[in-house]
């Protein structure tokens, strides 16, 4: 049973943002302070990624733990009313995420997912975000450099 009337539930749900969420803004702020330049919500890419770093051919999705059902996360609880609707909704979200990530990888992008519950960690440890994003890139650059030295 829902704790809100249908009118109040509608009002509550209408205020939920699909872009420019607080976790997205925090991650974008950290990236900007680290010197990364990026584009947001590119409509020409599958899934309209939250953050695109074109220079690094890298995509970052900042997923809400509830809406994308972060496995093992306490925020990813299931509503107790309208269970069939929510199960279908969550399963469709997860399948769409997988499909979009697969398409982006096929296009040559590296895809990272930062979960809502991880944002506080990156806020306190911004260098970890930089390391994560540059990890494979440094390896690729070193391979190219070694190849050029031959």
Quick one: average pLDDT of 53-69? 92
- Check residue 150 and give its pLDDT: 39
Tell me, what's the pLDDT at 141? 43
Report pLDDT for 41. Answer: 93
What's the Cα-to-Cα distance from 143 to each of 54, 104, 107, 140, rounded to whole Å?
A: 20, 23, 21, 5
Please tell me what DSSP assigns to residue 41.
S
* Nearest alpha carbon to residue 51 among 68, 26, 70, 16: 26
pTM of the prediction?
0.79
- Residue with more model confidence, 147 or 19: 19
Instruction: Indicate if the pLDDT at residue 2 is higher than 70.
Output: no
Per-residue pLDDT at 79: 84
């Amino acid at each position: 049973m829902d704790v809100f009337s249908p009118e109040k539930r509608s009002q509550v749900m209408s205020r939920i943002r699909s872009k420019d969420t607080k976790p997205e803004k925090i991650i974008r702020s950290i990236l900007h302070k680290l010197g990364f330049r990026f584009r947001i919500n590119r409509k020409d890419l599958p899934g309209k990624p939250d953050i695109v770093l074109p220079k690094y051919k890298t995509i970052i999705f900042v997923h809400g733990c509830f809406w994308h059902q972060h496995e093992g996360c306490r925020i990813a609880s299931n509503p107790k009313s309208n269970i069939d609707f929510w199960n279908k909704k969550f399963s469709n979200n997860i399948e769409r995420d997988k499909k979009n990530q697969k398409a982006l990888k096929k296009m040559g992008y590296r895809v990272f997912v930062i979960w809502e519950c991880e944002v506080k960690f990156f806020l306190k440890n911004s260098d970890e975000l930089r390391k994560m994003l540059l990890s494979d890139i440094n390896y690729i650059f070193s391979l190219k450099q070694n190849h050029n030295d031959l």
